[in-house]
Structure 1
């Protein structure tokens, strides 16, 4: 009986030893795998944080530059154009021929239109405009400036009850809209521009669309560095900065639609 008990103990010890020998490497591998996955996650978080901080710095520099440009337009160019109007008023009084007076009047009205456009442009470039009035009035001002060219119909549609997205978020969205509108004006040969803001309970969506000639998104995003612009990549990266997404739909001859979506948690933090 004692011999049988001894054999059982030996078998038990051997079994435990074998389990330890075979299980230890597995446990070590699993622990190493968890540590490696944690390392990859930490590395990805650091990378994302670096990219967000880099984009944040770029945005701040851009805002400062645009604000300075807007200030110069308002203070310098605007004042010079005002002087031109005053000189045209004097010139009109000096000219006796009705035909020439009419030409002076037309020129004066044209200069006044330019003054109005310069003032509107300086406001849309100014960071304080968004801070003081919010996203929707800033978008309205931008579209009114385009509308005054009388070459393109530009309109804004709002769905849902508007709420604040946060000053920083609204500034990024305004710059993304300006980038998209600028692309449409320069390249699309569009006749109609439409900006849609959709205030949902769980997300905010901003859509910029045009009826221009369109382009191949795949071809544009796979160009060599020297042949590609920064417009599309800026849109993608800035949407990522907001914790959202940017999707561009376009095909040659069928216009372009830029869809930007931000989930509600990011909105609250904005």
Structure 2
């Protein structure tokens, strides 16, 4: 039965019952209306309105649940679907909404995968250009400065050596940026070594004291999941070093019954959760890409905690 006919018949039943009471019952209306008759009619009207409201509330309850689901659904935080309930029309509407959510989440996942793949390709290209072009140019400049300094007067020689040190520092910084853009150590030595190198590259000027704990017997995750773990850790550590004003940082990678869990905590100024910047949104998208659970919020002892739970790759799955 459609929603229109359901509501129409409910109202028809109420009105028919009121009409039969007036025609067949002892209730009469005088002219002018007596006080007792007005009370009886008013009570009957109130009873009809209450019954009608109760019937409509029951009939439209699934629509209320669907409305709440529509206003609270976030494609970056997939949750349970509304239960398919109610009459045929409402049940079909809820089922259609759930199907639409499935299609939207699938399309968002494909779009995020394409965007993140393009981002990684661009990072590799930039890293390669920094290493091959800028790095080699600065290396040539260093060699020229060394050759010129060997023939320069003593006063000029000291200035040239100072320029050499500045150039060497710039070359080291470019190499560090290239390593962050393209984590070659992740491909060559694995996730643990890559996370260790990431921690050791935290600038001394940040003042962070880092404690790390990495399990070595990790399950098979796959290259894509390992890259997501690395990028999430990289973004979280960068946010802590730049914005958290923290003194201590803890990073842990532990094996769980379903996969691995990455946990990063700091004792900085904390995260209120009201707004999420592009970095956190990017971490959420990466987590969704591999079916991982991502959460960010206040740490138990203050500061901020980033938690990423990655399921292990099924045995026999493609890399």
TM norm. shorter chain > 0.5 = yes
- Partner Cα distance (1:242, 1:77) in 2: 35
CA offset digits 1:184-215 (Å, max 9, x no partner): 23322334443211122322111223333333
2:112 is equivalent to residue 55 of structure 1: yes
* SS of aligned partner of 2:201: helix
* Aligned position for 1:186: 242
- Partner Cα distance (2:163, 2:248) in 1: 28
- Determine which structure has more spread, i.e. the larger CA radius of gyration: 2
**8 Å contact 1:152–1:193 — kept in the other structure?**
yes
TM-score (norm 1): 0.71
* Aligned position for 2:133: 76
* Aligned position for 1:19: none
CA offset digits 1:51-103 (Å, max 9, x no partner): 11111011111101111111121112211221232133124313443x76556
2:283 is equivalent to residue 235 of structure 1: yes
* Aligned position for 1:93: 150
- Partner Cα distance (1:145, 1:119) in 2: 12
TM-score (norm 2): 0.61
2:198 is equivalent to residue 142 of structure 1: yes
| Segment of structure 1 superposing worse, 70-79 or 106-115 | 106-115
CA-CA distance at 1:50 after TM superposition = 0.9
* Aligned position for 2:221: 165
Provide closer, same or farther for how the CA distance between residues 115 and 148 of structure 1 changes in structure 2, counting only shifts above 3 A.
Answer: farther
Provide closer, same or farther for how the CA distance between residues 60 and 154 of structure 1 changes in structure 2, counting only shifts above 3 A.
Answer: same
**8 Å contact 1:166–1:268 — kept in the other structure?**
no
* Aligned position for 1:259: 307
* SS of aligned partner of 2:254: strand
CA-CA distance at 1:142 after TM superposition = 2.3
Q: Which one of 231, 236, 245 corresponds to residue 293 of structure 2?
A: 245
CA-CA distance at 1:153 after TM superposition = 4.1
- Partner Cα distance (1:135, 1:168) in 2: 11
* Aligned position for 1:198: 254
RMSD: 3.2
Q: How many residues align?
A: 232
**8 Å contact 1:155–1:195 — kept in the other structure?**
yes
Provide closer, same or farther for how the CA distance between residues 68 and 35 of structure 1 changes in structure 2, counting only shifts above 3 A.
Answer: same
**8 Å contact 2:210–2:250 — kept in the other structure?**
yes
- Partner Cα distance (1:43, 1:30) in 2: 20
- Partner Cα distance (2:166, 2:208) in 1: 18
Q: Which of 1 and 2 has higher RCO (CA within 8 Å, sep 6+)?
A: 1
CA-CA distance at 1:33 after TM superposition = 6.3
**8 Å contact 1:189–1:213 — kept in the other structure?**
yes
5+ long unaligned stretches in structure 2: 1-85
CA offset digits 1:97-146 (Å, max 9, x no partner): 3x765564455345334423422332332266533333222222322322
5+ long unaligned stretches in structure 1: 1-28, 222-228
Q: Which has the higher helix share?
A: 1
**8 Å contact 1:210–1:255 — kept in the other structure?**
yes
- Partner Cα distance (1:45, 1:105) in 2: 63
